[in-house]
Amino acid sequence: MLEIRNLRKVYEDGAVGVDHLDLSIPAGEIFVLLGANGAGKTSTIMLILGFTEPTAGEVLVNGIDVQKDPLEAKKHVAYVSENVMLYGNFTAKQNLEFFTRLSGRRDIPEDEFREVFRRVGLAENAYHRRVKGFSKGMRQRLGIAIAMLKNAELIVLDEPTSGLDPKGGFEFLQIVGSLKNEGKAILMSSHDIFRAKALADRVGIMSEGRILEIIDRDDLKDADLQEIYLQYVERVEAGATSAKAD
Amino acid sequence: MLRIIIGKEILSHILSLRFTVTFMLFLVVILASFYVTVNEHMLEVNRFGSRERVYAEKLSDILKEEQDFGTHGRLERLFWLEGRNSPVPVATLAWMGQGLQGVLPAGINARAFGSQNIDRGLTRNPLLGLLATPDFIYVVNVVLSLLAILFMFDAVCGEKETGTLRLTLSNSVPRHSVLLGKWIGGYIVLLVPFLIATGGGLAYAWGRGALDPTAGNLIRIGLLIALACLYIAVFFNLSLFVSTTTHNSATALLVCLLLWVIFILAIPNLAPVTAKILEPTPALQKIEAEKRAVEEEIELKIDRLSVASGELHYGDKIERERERLTREGERRQRQWDRFYETACERQTELAKTLGRLSPSASWIYAATSLTDTGPAVHERLRESAKRYESAMGEFERAFFRAGRKPGTNEWPEISPDELPVLGLTFPNVQEATKDALNDVLLLVIMNVVFFMLAFVFFLRYDVR
């Protein structure tokens, strides 16, 4: 579903956002990009969504090159950001309708909206409420509802549980898990080790734009992910310190 | 796709506080403006009628004098002492744009040897000259342009800040559709309350009798409203462009307000002053002094001519020479007049050209052309006054050439209808439109340039 080949992004100021990244996520898999702030997780997502141009390499979504045909590629991607901000003056229903129609789906029956609304755990009475009164957790749920209604094969989640309370985070990840069961390929960036371990089929530890190690689900069970992650972070920090000293 | 975005934009604006405030502001400001200017116009029309009556009565008094000459003489009062007064008519659409109406004289007095303006006098409220009249043209120029900016300054950068732009563009939506959708949606939402309020104002003007619904007037009003829409679009495009070059709405607002001050307040007001410095005109007193010098020189030449002939001589030859010298003097005096007029015209043209760096000046020039209250009417009045003065002189010469009544010592009666009148005519719709055309084209060009800039910048806009 998602193929990333030798992807590299160097920004105008010389900073390397993504460094020779290779990644493949098939349908029905949750891949978690784990990394500290500035590791390159969001840069990777921006490249997948075609928001920035890669310096080298390519991103294929459902076999479509994002660079060459971004509009066609975006039909197969749904995106949920770290802090879903919708149109505050619109009701939840109006936001759902707008973004769903924007994704190319028309004439969706009201029942389907309500069903998705219920599935993401939003209360019935919130359906006609203005979104500006929603908590962050509610907005995140609405964001995932929009992604679900798009019915895209690939769902990209950029630190979606950041700032959510434990219960909210847990419920959110349950929804993500159900999407995997529907055969969606899911790429999620996070720095939440525990949720990554609980949810992911594979975890890629990312630092300085590179995936340093990919841990499979089978290995994840026994792995002390926190230990592994901290080792990498420390190694990177040590590298940075010695480079500075040189 | 475009329709979806337009629909979203319209709904988004309608649900915002900004729209409610704008709607209320339009209703209050535009309706208040029409109320004030329509009533002022009706007063001005009544004043014109009063002046016409007073001037006619005065002329009738003069023509009824029993004597022909002397300070109470009919012909002396008519041709040399008092002359005939003609009121300056009020433009029929002056209530939509006062323009230069307030600075035109109340009437023109013409005698056999010249004309002068009849001032509105010291009875006029001086504050009317000091403060701008809040007519339709002013409201569009200041209020509407500002609202257009407030509507669009955060169209792109505001959505980037909130994150909705990223979510929108994560879908299969071409960027040009997003930009165009924003433009069209926002424009419709701004125009609808404007048109409703303007429609209300026009209905009031019609009800009060200020709007004479002739085809010409209706076409002019239609063109004026279309022009207002074009003018608003300039500020829409300008703020959209600013929005695509900034990444937060506070900066965009600041830049937009700065540009608004430059375009609305600075350039149009500084242009005439700058033109005055760059293209100065000589003092009128200096021109008068030059003309007097010519007159004295000619008189001296005529005196010398008489002396050179050895005696006071009234023969045909010397009379012809005297006439030639007089004509030469008049020609040279006209040259001085022309020199002054040309200098004034050059300064005016330069001021207009400099002012056109701002859409505001183009709007005012074009709009006042359509309401007949712009510089073109000022020019027409000057020409009419010249013709009026000249016609009065012609009439006097023809009258005395015709001589007394046959077989009597009396001069013929003069009917008021025989006497020349000011004869100021306003341009017709075609002429007014032609006058406005350059400025309309400028507004179109500004629209295209700003939108293209917004388009190019948005295609490269970093939505991260």
Write down the ipTM of this complex: 0.87
State yes or no: pLDDT of B308 exceeds 70: no
Q: What pLDDT sits at residue A242?
A: 61
pLDDT at A236: 66
Give me the mean pLDDT over the B179-192 stretch: 93
Q: What is the pLDDT of residues B22-80, one digit of tens each?
A: 889 989 999 999 999 999 899 999 999 999 999 999 999 998 888 888 777 888 888 88
Query: What's the pLDDT score for residue B123?
Result: 61
Return the residue in A44, A85, A150, A151 with the most chain B beta carbons within 10 A, the one to mutate for interface testing. Answer: A85
Q: What is the pLDDT of residues A48-81, one digit of tens each?
A: 998 888 999 999 998 899 888 989 999 999 998 8
Q: What is the pLDDT of residue B314?
A: 60
CA distances from B20 to A92, A130, A190, B16 (A): 22, 17, 42, 7
Helix, strand or coil for residue B11? helix
**pLDDT tier, B101 (very low <50, low <70, confident <90, very high otherwise):** confident
What is the average pLDDT across A112-134? 87
Judging by DSSP bridges, how do beta strands A202-207 and A185-190 pair with one another?
Answer: unpaired
Tokens 């509009």 sit on residue: A71
The Cα B362–Cα B445 span in angstroms is: 12
Q: What is the mean pLDDT of chain B?
A: 89
C-alpha closest to that of B179 among B249, B239, B228: B239
Is residue B190 very low, low, confident or very high in pLDDT (cuts 50, 70, 90)? Answer: very high
Question: What percent of chain B shows pLDDT beyond 90?
Answer: 53
Interfacial residues of B (vs A; Cβ cutoff 8 Å): 1, 4-5, 8, 11-12, 15-16, 162-164, 166-174, 462-464
Q: What does the pLDDT look like over B227-247, one tens digit per residue?
A: 999 999 999 999 999 999 998
Nearest residue in chain B measured CA to CA from A81: B167
Q: Percent of chain B at pLDDT above 70? A: 96
Does A231 contact chain B (CB < 8 Å)? no
Give the lowest-confidence range in A29-33, A169-173, B122-126, B229-233.
B122-126
The pLDDT of residue B461: 87
Q: Which two tokens stand for residue B321?
A: 């020479």
- Shortest Cα–Cα distance, A222 to chain B (Å): 37
The better pLDDT of the pair B354, A240 is held by: B354
pTM of the model: 0.84
User: Which pLDDT score, from 0 to 100, does residue A95 have?
Assistant: 92
CB A9 within 8 A of CB A17: yes
Is the pLDDT assigned to residue B378 strictly greater than 60? yes
A98 CB within 8 Å of a chain B CB:
yes
CB atoms A78 and B164 under 8 Å: no
Residues B362-373 have pLDDT tens digits of 999 999 999 999
List chain B domain ranges: 2-121+129-459
Q: Do B170 and A75 touch (CB under 8 A)?
A: no
Report the pLDDT averaged over residues A35-41: 83
Query: In this complex, which of A46, A85, A101 lies closest to B4 when CB atoms are compared?
Result: A101
Q: pLDDT tens, B434-452?
A: 999 999 999 999 999 999 9
Residue B149 has pLDDT above 90, yes or no: yes
Q: How many CB atoms lie within 10 A of CB A62?
A: 17
Task: Give me the pLDDT at residue B95, please.
Answer: 92
The alpha-carbon radius of gyration of chain B (Å, integer) is 30
The model's confidence at residue B347, banded by pLDDT at 50, 70 and 90, is: very high
> What tokens does B6 get?
């337009």
Q: Where residue B301 falls among pLDDT bands split at 50, 70, 90? A: confident
Q: Tell me which of A17-21, A138-142, A221-225 is least confident.
A: A221-225
Query: φ and ψ at B303, to 5 degrees?
Result: -60, -45
Q: Is the pLDDT of residue A220 over 80?
A: no
pLDDT score for B326: 86
